[in-house]
């Protein structure tokens, strides 16, 4: 089995030898994973919620915003698995439950309980200021997962390239749609993830599909808003609506019945983001056409690896080989710049395809997809451990 990535010489889509070797190790681990999630404590004390081996030589704290989705359940499972392989003792994961003040307090607790570095999924890009200051005063550095930090210095940002998310969606849609309307269900444009996906998609569509009219609907990641916007577009444009790009997966469950009810299922392209099990199911049966697989396994492994580097005083810099990306890069948000590993996430379609587009944002003009049948995709691993990707227990 192989974890396919898009390849383009000299671009962000190139795959380094280091990344390929580690990916091969992770695929072996992923295929042997049970896929079950741990019941992480939401307490502000880390000691009672320690997971992974207690014989590990390095203590790493973990604080997440959520654990109640398939993605974060899979992430926690991979994290536990890789921590054991890397001889790490985990403190946590603690759960902030979208409470920024609680998250700052929890990180202080992890510092006080002996964490040598801390992995955090921030509530927002600008909510960690007190925690970063407190940790720095105690010579502890933070690794941010899935969110750029714009309120201080962290050791590393481990986050998929959301620019590629938008470009990949554009590559698929622009290759098949040459007229009419395309609905872009945007996320939160004040977030780096939503802004990057939207800006890249818009720039790419303008360069590659100028005859198509883009309907831009900001949703602030609210599923009900996205489904209502999709219904409005269907009612207004009917068969002239040629594609829907949903910047996250949750709206799919409302959009697909809507299209079926209007006899537009299979006629309107649907491209989504996340790579959750039900998307793997929907791609397989043709209900949606493509999805970006936000890589829970790569997030977990590289966050831990960089946490070890931080704990051991390793100095990293832009241009060095990355783990999920060919090279480490500086990423900027709200005036703060931090070192990041912009992971190249698999773009999943029913069968492997290659698209050539006019490149934008300095990226490659070649996009090669990953087949939905690739058993190393985290959505497939998690789904197979929960009754199959089409099972309600995997959702």
Residues 337-354 have pLDDT tens digits of 999 999 999 999 999 999
Report, as ranges of residue numbers, the positions in the chain whose pLDDT lies below 70: 1-56
Q: Are 33 and 65 in contact (CB under 8 A)?
A: no
How far from 134 is each of 74, 137, 158, CA to CA, in Å? Answer: 30, 5, 21
pLDDT for 270 equals 98
Model pTM? 0.83
pLDDT for 8 equals 29
| End-to-end CA, the chain | 25
Q: Which helix (H) or strand (E) holds 132?
A: helix 129-137
Reported in sequence order, the residue ranges of 25-165 that DSSP labels E, i.e. its strands, are 58-64, 88-95, 117-120, 141-145, 156-160
Q: Which residues contact 77 (CB under 8 A, 6 or more apart)?
A: 33, 34, 35, 36, 37, 38, 382
pLDDT for 191 equals 84
pLDDT for 358 equals 94
pLDDT for 331 equals 92
pLDDT for 190 equals 83
pLDDT for 55 equals 54
């Amino acid at each position: 089995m192989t974890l396919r990535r898009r390849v383009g010489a000299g671009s962000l889509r190139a795959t380094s030898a280091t990344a390929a070797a580690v990916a091969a190790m992770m695929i072996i681990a992923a295929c042997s994973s049970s896929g079950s999630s741990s019941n992480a404590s939401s307490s502000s004390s880390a000691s009672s919620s320690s997971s992974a081996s207690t014989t590990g030589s390095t203590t790493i704290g973990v604080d997440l915003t959520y654990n109640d989705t398939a993605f974060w359940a899979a992430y926690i499972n991979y994290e536990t698995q890789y921590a054991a392989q890397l001889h790490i003792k985990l403190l946590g994961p603690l759960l902030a439950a979208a409470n920024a003040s609680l998250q700052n307090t929890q990180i202080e607790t992890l510092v006080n309980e002996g964490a040598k570095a801390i992995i955090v999924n921030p509530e927002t890009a600008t909510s960690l200021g007190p925690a970063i200051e407190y940790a720095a005063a105690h010579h502890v550095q933070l690794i941010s997962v899935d969110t750029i930090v714009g309120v201080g210095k962290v050791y590393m940002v481990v986050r998929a390239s959301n620019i590629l998310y938008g470009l990949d969606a554009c590559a698929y849609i622009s290759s098949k749609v040459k007229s009419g309307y395309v609905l872009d269900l945007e996320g939160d444009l004040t977030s780096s993830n939503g802004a990057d996906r939207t800006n890249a998609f818009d720039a790419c569509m303008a360069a590659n599909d100028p005859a198509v009219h883009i309907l831009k609907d900001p949703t602030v990641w609210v599923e009900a808003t996205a489904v209502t916007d999709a219904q409005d577009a269907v009612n207004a444009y009917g068969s002239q609506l040629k594609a829907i790009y949903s910047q996250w997966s949750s709206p799919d469950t409302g959009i697909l019945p809507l299209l079926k009810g209007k006899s537009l299922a299979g006629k309107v392209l649907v491209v989504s983001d996340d790579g959750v099990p039900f998307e793997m199911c929907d791609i397989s049966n043709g209900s949606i056409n493509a999805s970006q697989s936000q890589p829970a396994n790569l997030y977990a492994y590289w966050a831990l690896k960089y946490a070890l580097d931080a704990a051991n005083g390793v100095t990293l810099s832009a241009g060095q080989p990355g783990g999920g990306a060919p090279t480490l890069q500086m990423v900027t948000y709200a005036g703060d710049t931090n070192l990041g590993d912009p992971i190249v996430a698999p773009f999943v379609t029913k069968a492997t395809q290659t698209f050539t587009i006019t490149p934008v944002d300095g990226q490659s003009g070649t996009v090669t997809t990953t087949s939905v049948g690739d058993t190393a995709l985290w959505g497939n691993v998690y789904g197979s451990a929960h009754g199959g990707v089409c099972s309600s227990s995997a959702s």
